[in-house]
Structure 1
Amino acid sequence: MDDLRTSEAWRVFRIQAELIDGIETLNDLGPAVSIFGGARFKEDAPYYEAARATAGLLTRMNLAVITGGGPGIMEAASRGCFEAGGTSVGLNITLPREQHPNHYQNRSITFRYFFIRKLMFVRFAMAYVIFPGGFGTMDELFESLTLVQTKKIRRFPIVLFGTSYWQGLIDWLRTEMIPHQAIAPGDLDLFHLVDTPEEVTTIIGDYLTRCSQFEGDQRKGVA
C-alpha cells in the first residue's frame, strides 16, 4: 500500500510538471490555430497537401500553427507552417505506436498525459481546423464542441475540412441526435464545413476581424 501511495503521489508531481512546462513553453506564443487530423495519411494523399497548404496560408496571416507533432496530417500542417517561416508547435505524445515527432517543428513539447496535451491545444488556440482522422481526431472534435456548447470556453471557429469525409457524421447528428433531443438544432451551428484552404482562412480571418472590433469597442467603452 505504501508503494502505491508513493507511486500515485509521484504521478501528481509528473502531471504538475507537464502542466507547468506546457504553459511556460507556449506562454509567449501569440495567436495560434490548432490543426488536427489522422496520423495514417501519406504524403501523396490529397488531405495531406490540403493541410500543408492551409497551414501555409494561416502562417501568412501571422498565426502560429499547433499540431500533435506526429506524422500524417499533423506533419503536413507542421510542414506548411515551417516552410512558410512561421512558428510550428508540436505537442507530441508518448505512444506505443504511430506517434513519432515530425521534422517540421521549431517549438516542441512531449507529453505523457493526454489530458494535459489537450488542455494546451485549447488553451493556446483561437481556432480549430479538423481534417479527417481517427478516434483521436474525433476526440478533439467532440471535446471542443462540448466545451463551446457548455460555455466552458469562448466560442471560436471549429472548422471541419472535407465534406465527403464528414457529411455522414453530420447527417447522423441531424437525423438521430436532434430527434432524440440529445443536442439542440442550433448546436450544428457550432462548426463550419469546408473543402478548400481558402475557405478556412476566410472563416478565421472574419473571426479575427470581429475580435479586433470587439476589443476596440471595449477600449472605447461601447456596450
Structure 2
Amino acid sequence: MKKTLLSLSFSPRVESTSAALADGFIADWHKANPDADLRQRALGRDVIAGPDEAWIAANMTPEAERTPEQAERLAASDQAIADLHAASHIVIATPMFNFGLPWTLKSYVDLILRVGKTFSFDPATGFGPLLSADKKLMIVWSSAGEYQPGTPTAPFDHLTPYLRQIFGFMGVTQSEAVSAGNMWGGPEAVETSLSAARTRLAALSPSW
C-alpha cells in the first residue's frame, strides 16, 4: 500500500519552531520513502470555524437528507476527515498555548471528531474507532517552558496526552511525540533543546 503523509501545522507564526522541526523531519522521512505522497495543510494562520448551531444541525441531519447549504456547512470537516482516512502517516506541528492546544488545533479536533465518520456509537456497545489502527501519528511541538517527562513541570503538559487520547479514540494508537521546550530560556538553553529535538526526529525518520 502506498504511503501518504498528512502534514498539519497549527502555528500562527510565519517563522515557526514547531513547523521548522516538522519540516526537517518530513524531508528526512521522504528521503527514506521517496514514492510516498505528501499532503500539507498550514492551518495556524487561517480562521477555522468551529461547530456552531447550523453546523451541528447539519451534522445531525442524515446525509441523504441534507440541503446544499448544510452540505456546504460541513465541507471543510468532510475534507479534513477524508485527509485523515487517506493518510498512512500524520504529522501534527504545533506550539503549546497555556499548557494546551492553540485554539486553531482545538477547532480542528472539533471538526474531525464526528460520529459515523471517525468514530462509531451504539447504545448497546458504546463507542468504537473508525480510523485504521495502521496509521501513525507524530506530534512535534514547542513551548516556552520545559515540560519533558521527568521534569517538575511535566504535569502541565496537557497537549500531548490530549492529542494521543483523541487520536486513540478514533483508532490511531501508534504515536510519537517530540518537543522543543524552554524556548524562553537563554540562547544556550534554546539551542540545547532544539538540537535534542532534531536529533530525536532524525533518529525516528528512517523507520517511522
TM-score w.r.t. structure 2 length?
0.45
TM-score relative to the length of structure 1? 0.43
Question: Taking CA–CA contacts closer than 8 Å with sequence separation of 6 or more, which of the two structures ends up with the larger relative contact order?
Answer: 2
Choose between structure 1 and 2: higher strand proportion: 2
